């Protein structure tokens, strides 16, 4: 039986990681002249990490990797995730390069549970605005994206109005981007 490291312990200063993860999302990033690929990966304990595949390898992995399937990754880089808005709450991200080995893997005996953000943390303003969130509910009455700031290139001034409809909630909120 193979041993896999938990995603939660990945750090840049160590090499030789071997992880088994499920591909939650595959996002194509348009970078002229070729596209790159970003993945949201989750391990069997529910820890998520962002994975960057540059344009040199993106086409191969876009055909090979599939959402909701399990894979093992070895010989990848772990880097600081300094993106202004992160896809996951992990402080680091993975980077796939030429010597990275990715193979199909058997799923674990138990699937990770979803980690949805409660409505109350959005209402209270306690949600971490630098990380994208998972949410169950219906967004309705989505308004236009408006820049209320003075600097048009500063993303902190952008607001999006919408209603969240959940089992016990119908309210209007403004989401800072």
CA 148, chain centre distance (Å): 27
Express each pLDDT in 115-129 by its tens digit: 666 656 666 777 666
Express each pLDDT in 35-53 by its tens digit: 889 999 999 998 999 999 9
> Quick one: DSSP state of residue 91?
S
Residue ranges per domain, the chain?
7-104, 119-165
How many other β-carbons are positioned within 10 Å of the β-carbon of residue 5? Answer: 16
Listing DSSP states for 99-146 in one string gives T-EEEE-PPPSSPPPP-PPPHHHHHHT-S-TTB-----SEEES---EE
pLDDT, position 131: 62
Alpha carbons 2 and 20: distance in angstroms, whole number: 10
Alpha carbons 164 and 45: distance in angstroms, whole number: 29
* Contact criterion met (CB below 8 Å) for 24 and 42: yes
pLDDT, position 170: 43
Question: What is the pTM assigned to this prediction?
Answer: 0.70
Alpha carbons 110 and 102: distance in angstroms, whole number: 21
pLDDT, position 171: 44
pLDDT, position 33: 73
* Run of H or E residues at 65: none
Is the domain spanning 7-104 CATH 2.60.40.10? The answer is no
pLDDT, position 15: 85
User: For each successive 10 residues of the chain (177 residues), what is the average pLDDT?
Assistant: 89 92 90 84 93 91 94 96 84 93 92 65 68 62 78 71 59 44
pLDDT, position 83: 82
pLDDT, position 158: 72
């Amino acid at each position: 039986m193979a041993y896999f490291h938990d995603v939660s312990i990945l750090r840049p200063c160590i090499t030789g990681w071997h992880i088994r993860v499920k591909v939650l999302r595959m996002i194509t990033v348009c970078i002229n002249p070729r596209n790159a690929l970003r993945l949201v990966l989750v391990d069997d304990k529910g820890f998520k990490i962002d994975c960057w595949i540059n344009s040199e390898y993106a086409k191969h992995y876009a055909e090979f990797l599939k959402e909701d399937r399990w894979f093992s990754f070895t010989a990848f880089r772990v880097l600081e995730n300094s993106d202004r808005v992160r896809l996951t709450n992990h402080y680091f991200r993975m980077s796939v390069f030429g010597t990275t080995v990715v193979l199909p893997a058997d799923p674990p005996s138990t699937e990770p549970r979803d980690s949805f953000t409660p409505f109350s943390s959005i209402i209270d303003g306690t949600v971490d605005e630098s990380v994208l969130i998972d949410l169950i509910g219906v967004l309705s009455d989505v308004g236009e994206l408006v820049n209320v700031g003075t600097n048009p290139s500063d993303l902190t001034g952008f607001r999006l109005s919408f209603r969240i409809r959940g089992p016990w909630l119908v309210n209007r909120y403004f989401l800072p981007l």
